Amino acid sequence: MALHPELGYFDEGLDLTDPAIYDGSIAKEGIANILPPVAYRSRIFSELEDEKVWTRKWCCIGNKNQLSEEGDLLPYTLGNHGIHVQLNKGQLSGRFNFAQHGGCRFVPAQCQTGKKTKCSYTSCGYSRDRDILKISDVDKDTPTLRHFVGDMPERMLPIRVETWAGRVFVNVDQNSNSLVEQLSGLDESANKKLDSFIDLSGFWMPLDGNWKVLMPAIIEAIGNELGLVHHWEELSAKKYDKSEAPEYLVLNGSRSERPFTLIWIFPNTLIEFSEEFSTTIIVQPTGLDEALIRVRFLQDPSAKLIDREFDIYNALWRDRLEEANTISIKNHRVYEAWGTPHSPGTSNEILPKGPSGPGYIFQQYIINKLLTDYEYVWNAPLYSNARR
């Protein structure tokens, strides 16, 4: 992390961990406004998210059977940290990457702008990720693999790895609760059923807008397509309470008379599934005003999904994400410019109304995590060195 948490997070004259600046955002649904506009345009705010969200919660990074061969490696930039999960002896293990900053002695100025940049090292916490690194495609002694695992993988700083419903979740906080505890209350039968699904294929799609704007926009786009945005049943691990926001939402609906379930696992994952088919949507911030959407399709091994049906699902999700992009761009531009000379007539004293429904609960979750206090017992940034 670029900032030491004990020094605080300040930008635009605001203490970003002061509960008072979120008072309007935690009002009742329908009255609550958006987060303070600094949340959508500040690099310092993204550093706060890195400290309070991405390095503290279980986050999904892919499907477990994307790693099919011994030694296959799944890279992922979690907040500002380059990590990977590798298949070893039939088990998944996770580590911080050897080259946290692409081998640079310091983080270059162009990498400190709040955007993930393209870099030849690919394992840098400030660069764009590459796809699955198949062990069959690389020589084990090449720099390509060494940038991730180093010369002695067993000496790299480990991360926690667990799976749920066939999805790979990671957590870099060694003192956090288990994934089972975070997802307490979710239907265990869904976990067992989806764990057997076969990974088919997927795609990546870059979308515009801050990730906190994009997540509710995707839910809105799904609701618009189904015409059920106001009629989905909302469930959570426990009765919603602002003092302890839920870790997920379960939304039930139907398409062509076929029931389906959409699980929104905070902060960054959507899992949609029916009897025969499942889709994973992972939202990964790549900049203050953009995110990478990772889509993977899975199928029940006993189902007979023909190519035409698969093409329909593929096109369906592309259409949903295109609509979400349109919604997100519009909202992000308003939020980002609010209270600045670029948006005359707007004031930080009067903010736009915040999202409703699932988006409202998601906003409460974000605020809850940003205001959570942690005890620091180390006199340097915890993840400044990936090696032990």
| DSSP secondary structure letters along 151-186 | S-GGGBPEEEEEEETTEEEEE--TTSPPHHHHTTTS
What pLDDT score does 168 carry?
98
Could you give the CA distance from residue 41 to residue 337 in angstroms, rounded to a whole number? 8
Q: Does 59-182 carry CATH code 2.102.10?
A: yes
What pLDDT score does 387 carry?
54
Query: Coil, strand or helix: which one is 371?
Result: coil
What pLDDT score does 259 carry?
80
Taking phi over 0 as left and psi of -120 to 50 as alpha, with beta for the rest, 326 belongs to: alpha
Q: What is the mean pLDDT of each run of 10 residues along the chain (388 residues)?
A: 74 96 94 97 95 95 94 94 93 91 78 83 83 84 81 89 97 92 89 93 96 96 67 42 74 77 94 92 96 95 79 91 97 96 91 92 95 72 51
Q: Could you check whether the bond before residue 341 is cis, i.e. omega within 30 degrees of 0? A: no
Could you give the CA distance from residue 362 to residue 367 in angstroms, rounded to a whole number? 9
What pLDDT score does 270 carry?
96
User: Taking a C-beta distance cutoff of 8 angstroms, is the pair 212, 40 a contact?
Assistant: yes
Domain ranges of the chain: 59-182
User: Taking a C-beta distance cutoff of 8 angstroms, is the pair 176, 53 a contact?
Assistant: no
Provide the CB-side half-sphere exposure for 365 (13 A, CA). Answer: 24
Which helix (H) or strand (E) segment holds residue 322: the answer is: helix 307-337
What distance lies between CA 209 and its chain's CA centroid?
14
Give, in degrees to the nearest 5, the angle at Cα 59 between 209 and 116.
45
Order of all β-strands in the sheet with 277-287: 198-208, 290-299, 277-287, 269-273, 258-265, 248-255, 233-235
Phi, psi of 263 (to 5 degrees): -105, 120
Could you give the CA distance from residue 333 to residue 24 in angstroms, rounded to a whole number? 20
User: Taking a C-beta distance cutoff of 8 angstroms, is the pair 376, 5 a contact?
Assistant: yes
